[in-house]
Amino acid sequence: MPFAYPEINVVAILVAALAQFVLGFLWYAGMTPTGKRWAAEMGLGDQSGQAGAAMAVFPIGSILAAWTVAIVYGWSGAADAMDGILVGWVVALAVGAQAAGASVASGKGSLVLHAINAGYLVVGYALMGAIIGAFG
């Protein structure tokens, strides 16, 4: 059986990536409760308004993540935004398990820090899945 990519909507991928990127900005921003707690857990102090050059890699990661969700969405036979949320959670589970394993194995970070990062993955991938599903 040949390997086939499902049809994907490039606009849906870009919108989903942008939404996840904006969520990440809000999730980790020093002006939000999760951002303040994340900065404290990371030992960064007040980081409001100091995104830095490292933020440049996140849009690329968001596009690749949205593309992955779109591919899995197509392969799964999903049909709508609710299916997209489920697909997003499945991808988040796979990504989150790997990220958590590496994070915990490093011995760095508290349980709260891991929960903040995992929460972002769960919400962000569900958001991407919902958007991709809404575009159908």
C-alpha–C-alpha distance, residues 90 and 85, integer Å: 9
Domains in the chain, number: 1
- For 130, the token pair is 């919902």
**Predicted confidence (pLDDT) at residue 132 exceeds the cutoff of 90:** yes
- The answer to whether position 51 is within a domain reads no
50 in any annotated domain: no
Q: Decide if 21 is inside a domain.
A: yes
Residue 34 lies in a domain: yes
Residue 131 lies in a domain: yes
34: containing domain:
10-45+56-135
pLDDT exceeds cutoff 80 at 24:
yes
- Cα distances from 105 to residues 91, 93, 97, in angstroms, run 21, 18, 12
- Tokens in use for 69? 């969700």
Entry pTM: 0.85
Higher-pLDDT residue of 99, 9 = 9
C-alpha 132/C-alpha 83 separation (Å) is 10
Residue 67 in domain: yes
Structure tokens at 50: 């100091």
Query: Chain-centre distance of CA 15, in angstroms?
Result: 13
Asked if residue 46 lies in contact with residue 96, where contact means CB atoms within 8 angstroms, the answer is: no
pLDDT at 47: 54
Predicted pLDDT of residue 46: 59
Answer whether residue 66 is part of any domain.
yes
Is a pLDDT exceeding 60 seen at residue 49? no
Task: Indicate the range of 8-22, 97-111, 115-129 predicted with least confidence.
Answer: 97-111
Instruction: State the average pLDDT over residues 24-36.
Output: 89
Q: Indicate whether 3 belongs to any domain.
A: no
Pair 70, 9: CB distance under 8 Å = yes
